[in-house]
Structure 1
Amino acid sequence: MHFKPRFSVNTYRRRGFRLRGNTLILLLIFFLIGLFLHYGGQTKPVVAFWNDLRQVIGLGKSRSEREENNPYKAPEPRQSDPSTDVATDDQGGNVSDQSEVSDKGGNTTSTRPSRTIRFDFEKQVDFLLPAVQPGDQVIRHEGFTLRYRDEYKDADWVAYPLLDYEITGDAERKNEQFQPDLSVVNGTALSSDYTRSGYDRGHLAPAGDFKFSQRIMRETFFMSNITPQVPQFNRGIWKELEEQIRRWAVRDNGLYVLTGPVLKPGLPTIGRNNEISVPEQFYKVILYCNKPDIRMIGFLLKNEPSDSSIKQFVVPVDQIEKVTGIDFFPKLPDDLERQLESKSRSDMVEEWFSY
Structure 2
Amino acid sequence: MRKLFILSIILFCFTSSKAQTLSEQIQTFKQEQESLEQKLIITTNELDSLKLLKIIEDLNIVGLPKSDFKDQIITHSAMILGYAEEFEQARWVTHIITPDIVQTSFGRSNDFREDDKVSTGSSKQEDYFLVDTLENGKLEYDGFGYDRGHLAPSADFRWSEKALSESFLYSNMSPQKAEFNRDIWAHLEDALRGYVIKNNTPLYVVTLPILSQDLPKIERGVNKVAIPKQYVKIAIDLKNNRGIAFLLPNASSTSLLTSFTTSIDEIEKLTQIDFFPSLEDELENKLELMTDGKEWIPSDEQQDVEPIAVMSLPKGYFNTNQAKYKVGNNKNVTICGTVVSTKLSGKGNIFINLDRAFPNQVFTVSIFANNVKNFPYKPEEYLKGKTICVTGKVSEFNGTPSMSIENGKSIFLYEKEEE
Q: Secondary structure at the match of 2:55?
A: coil
Cα 1:275/1:126, change in 2 over 3 Å: farther
In the other structure, the counterpart of 1:21 is: none
Q: Secondary structure at the match of 1:235?
A: helix
Task: Give the counterpart of 2:124 among 190, 200, 208.
Answer: 190
CA distance in 2, matches of 1:74, 1:67: 10
Task: Give the counterpart of 1:269 among 195, 217, 220.
Answer: 217
- 1:218 matched to 2:165: yes
Structure 1 ranges of 4+ moved more than 6 A: none
In the other structure, the counterpart of 1:311 is: 258
Task: Give the counterpart of 1:286 among 232, 235, 256.
Answer: 235
Cα 1:128/1:242, change in 2 over 3 Å: farther
Q: Per-residue deviation at 1:148?
A: 0.2
CA distance in 1, matches of 2:120, 2:45: 39
Q: Per-residue deviation at 1:340?
A: 1.9
Q: Deviations over 1:54-81 (max 9, x none)?
A: 79xx95221892797x899427xxxxxx
Query: Contact conserved, 2:195 with 2:298, CA < 8 A, in 1?
Result: no
Q: Per-residue deviation at 1:176?
A: 2.7
Q: Per-residue deviation at 1:250?
A: 1.1
- 1:322 matched to 2:304: no
Q: Per-residue deviation at 1:315?
A: 0.6
Q: TM-score, normalised by structure 2?
A: 0.55
Aligned pairs for 1:163-242 (under 5 A) are 163-173=98-108, 175-195=109-129, 196-242=143-189
CA distance in 1, matches of 2:64, 2:47: 23
Aligned pairs for 1:139-154 (under 5 A) are 139-154=74-89
CA distance in 1, matches of 2:53, 2:191: 19
Between the two structures, name the one with larger relative contact order (CA 8 Å, sep ≥ 6).
1
Query: Contact conserved, 2:180 with 2:251, CA < 8 A, in 1?
Result: yes
Cα 1:66/1:299, change in 2 over 3 Å: closer
Task: Give the counterpart of 1:255 among 203, 207, 213.
Answer: 203
Percentage of identical aligned residues: 35
In the other structure, the counterpart of 2:42 is: 60
Cα 1:142/1:243, change in 2 over 3 Å: same
Task: Give the counterpart of 1:157 among 87, 92, 97.
Answer: 92
In the other structure, the counterpart of 2:367 is: none
Which structure features the higher share of strand residues?
A: 2
CA distance in 1, matches of 2:166, 2:52: 23
> What RMSD, in angstroms, separates the aligned Cα atoms of the two structures?
2.9
Aligned pairs for 1:42-81 (under 5 A) are 60-62=42-44, 65=47, 73-74=54-55
CA distance in 1, matches of 2:59, 2:115: 28
Gaps of at least 5 residues in structure 1 are 1-28, 30-50, 76-121
In the other structure, the counterpart of 1:6 is: none
Q: Which amino acid is 1:349 matched to?
A: G
Query: Contact conserved, 1:128 with 1:160, CA < 8 A, in 2?
Result: no
Q: Secondary structure at the match of 1:328?
A: coil
* Count of residue correspondences: 249
Q: Per-residue deviation at 1:354?
A: 8.7
Q: Deviations over 1:102-139 (max 9, x none)?
A: xxxxxxxxxxxxxxxxxxxx979442421255853101
In the other structure, the counterpart of 2:73 is: 138
Q: TM-score, normalised by structure 1?
A: 0.64
Q: Secondary structure at the match of 1:146?
A: strand
Q: Per-residue deviation at 1:149?
A: 0.2
Which shifted more, 190-199 or 124-133? Answer: 124-133
Cα 1:66/1:172, change in 2 over 3 Å: closer
